Structure 1
């Protein structure tokens, strides 16, 4: 088959799969979890058009600082140029496409290609090409050979980029989910910073499964995470069983961003920004709005997903090993597709810049013990489930099967006094956030704007 015929065939496969979606998004084709043609379409239709998280400003604090990341399968350099502007450059020489920068981080004003020594400054301009005039003639103009640049936007220190010149501004893309980011990141007077280099690891399973789970799946908690619950990490019932159970609320937006706020039973929970030291909490509370404090009162976890692939969690685990007090942590995690059934996770842990070194270390320990490649609790259980969803989709019968995402479809959502923006429901066991995620996914796959 010719290349065109192969592309046409892949397009037909993707169209057939998309046709299996039900109008109300209560059914999702299992083939979207492991079909290579679907991933190829996602990389083209989603990962080149959406705003993608690429790093935190503290990682490139000084002029010349840079980190290397991926936007889908495209490798990029995230750098702060000599004038202090944040730029996202395609990490490929404009001459012959050689990987320009192989280091994961560093500081430099110029990047030199190892193949033919073409040299670019950190604004992306070509500054030197050996023997260019002699080899190419007098018409050679370095200005015609810059590195490709993505559009850049920053919100609360989070750096996003998009390849789409017609994408809406970042603020419009974030919509109501920005309020929840402000609640977590915008109340620390000294701001936040990355604690150590990101943790990178490969997992089995399609990238979307992790994102939908982080976006608001309260249903799996008592079953997948039965061990930590029985160990008392979420509090314990009274002897007579009257202590109550954790509960939560889900939030979703038209852009496909989602969140869940989990609450402890009243007699177990804590104040807003639970798990912070007293000094940090006082600072956060002083800068938060009354509505934010109402959302966070007695909350032990806030987690969600920014469409398409940036998940986050802020939580205070009640047991971290040998510390007397629970300590909170905040991570942002990129789920980057490697192939249809393999995902690279990149965990970035943020800590308040004004926290003491001792508190920061406790926060790091609380995070790595529960979330990450070596986590004793939570992540191992989740990743086993994620892998099995992709594995069961390899069969012939699976290609025509759909998965059930209908939970909560028939439940009315009555207006209440929820103080946060976005659409929301006081149903912890719900798949409303899943349907919001796949609604945005389906619109993007069909070439529709949010």
Structure 2
């Protein structure tokens, strides 16, 4: 045996493989090991296998409406610049200069035809093409080939309802195929008017010591926590009837890790409480002619309240007052759980409004959204504190040594019917209860599939 051969690893299974094997075995019993929520090796694999291989939301078109507009965002831990070029095209560019790697864009948003690296001055246009190098003749003697030295570009960029998605994987399935039923639901959420929705302002951004999966799974449809964790909002009359949250919940499973949960408002409140409870002067401007029969039923009777598009884009919409006893507003927030490191995220939260709304209505909806789901929101504070405890459990030496798993077995022996709705004509699976943790398990099973390198999971079908 040579000296080199003596240092070759003799094990055929890495520590990560062992963790994934453990997850696979636990999921068979509807359990999730704590190991995956605060682990350096798991985190690095997620960045490599999930965030660089899937479609990831990066911006909304309303954030870059004009030529030269840009915002700085992230795909996983990679900073990217999302630009609108002079021809109206959307570009997602790496924010690392090709000369020495310095970030060429240092601001969150703006309008510029060029990005000039602050280190040595290499300059790129809004399509990422290298167009300038200082002291060209003395330094290089000839033009550098832009095909070789322009900013790296995301090979796949596409939009749905103004939401811009990008993938660093050139072989990713088309966005429409990837979204599947989640795209269908997104159409029902923001496609109720020809002008669509727009952001009301830049996103809130703040750090939370929690795992991105915990937040994404929660927004897939954990309604079981509402009357416990958020009971304080009922005591101050911001919300009411939280104890009914599971009884009137409706679950939508679309495969590929995409899940939504709605509520049967016309059953719980009154038959006229359609379209999330939007007031008549707003609802009367909606055009529902493009929705199919199942979408019409959903938006009128059992509309989505929360949802997650895998991996890390989530949504919430509900009717609430800005202050106890104040006027009601239908809050629409999209949020992204940006991974930073093991057990830590940066939470990005956008408030969305209808483009036709008056400035007064926009301000009211924005303020209400910030009150309930802003950085100091009354719901947000509850959630983030609870999520941070899960990350601590994930790093606990005792929990790991004991082989601690989290319980997702709710409803196994319940008398509540959790079977798929046989009358459902929309995509995926619909269940008529919030009891059972089907959507959360669907999220983690897809997470495991992607971490195993098995790509997109099959579309959800009845009986899963």
Same fold (TM over 0.5): yes
> What displacement does 1:164 show?
0.2
Structure 1 residue 263: Cα displacement: 2.8
SS of aligned partner of 2:285: helix
- In structure 1, the residue matched to 2:249 is 248
Count of matched residue pairs: 441
Q: Alpha carbons of 1:394 and 1:286: their partners in 2 closer, same or farther (altered >3 Å)? A: closer
Alignment of 1:355-366 (within 5 A): 355-366=357-368
Q: Structure 2: state its 5+ residue gaps.
A: 1-6, 457-464
Aligned to 1:202: 207
1:81 matches 2:52 = no
After alignment, is 343-352 or 125-134 more displaced? 125-134
1:215/1:267 Cα in 2 relative to 1: closer, same or farther (>3 Å)? closer
Shift of 1:8: 11
Match runs of 1:327-338 below 5 Å? 327-338=329-340
1:278 equivalent in structure 2: 280
Residue 280 of structure 1: how far off its partner (Å): 2.1
Counterpart of 1:109? 113
* Cα displacement string for residues 275-302 of structure 1 (whole angstroms, at most 9, x for unaligned residues): 4332320222544444323213355752
Secondary structure of 2:221's counterpart equals: coil
Taking structure 1 as the reference length, the TM-score comes to: 0.91
Residues 218 and 430 in structure 1, CA contact (< 8 A), matched pair in contact too? no
SS at the partner of 1:448?
Answer: coil
Q: What are the superposed Cα offsets for residues 340-359 of structure 1, whole Å, 9 maximum, x if unpaired?
A: 12110111111000011111
Residue pair 2:238, 2:323 contacting (<8 A) in 1 also:
no
Aligned runs of 1:24-423 on 2, under 5 Å?
Answer: 24=28, 26-138=30-142, 140-150=144-154, 151-235=156-240, 247-264=248-265, 266=267, 268-269=269-270, 270-284=272-286, 286-287=288-289, 288-299=291-302, 302-317=305-320, 319-321=321-323, 324-375=326-377, 377-399=378-400, 400-408=403-411, 413-423=419-429
1:305 is displaced (CA, Å) by: 0.4
Q: Is 2:209–2:344's contact at 8 Å kept on the other side of the alignment?
A: yes
1:14 match:
16
Residues in 2 aligned to 1:314 and 1:111: alpha-carbon distance in whole angstroms: 37
Q: Matched residue of 2:267: which SS?
A: coil
What runs of 5+ residues in structure 1 fail to find an aligned partner? none
- Give secondary structure in 2 for the equivalent of 1:444: helix
3-state DSSP class of the match of 1:283? coil
CA distance in 1, matches of 2:146, 2:81: 20
CA distance, structure 2, for counterparts of residue 365 and residue 140 of structure 1: 50
How far off its partner does 1:430 sit?
Answer: 2.0
Aligned position for 2:434: 428
Give the TM-score normalised by structure 2: 0.88
Do the aligned residues in 1 keep the contact of 2:236 with 2:324 (CA within 8 Å)?
A: no
Return the alpha-carbon distance in structure 1 between the equivalents of residues 277 and 435 of structure 2. 25
**Is the CA contact (8 Å cut-off) linking 1:301 and 1:316 kept in structure 2?**
no
Find the aligned partners of 2:8 and 2:273 in 1 and give their Cα distance: 58
Whole-angstrom distance in 1 between the partners of 2:144 and 2:107? 30
Return the alpha-carbon distance in structure 1 between the equivalents of residues 64 and 422 of structure 2: 43
Distance 2:182 2:335 in 1: 16
1:360–1:407 distance in 2 versus 1, CA, 3 Å:
same
Q: Following TM superposition, by how much is the alpha carbon of 1:25 offset from its aligned partner in structure 2, in angstroms?
A: 6.3
Q: Tell me how far apart the structure 2 counterparts of residues 38 and 8 of structure 1 sit (CA, whole Å).
A: 22
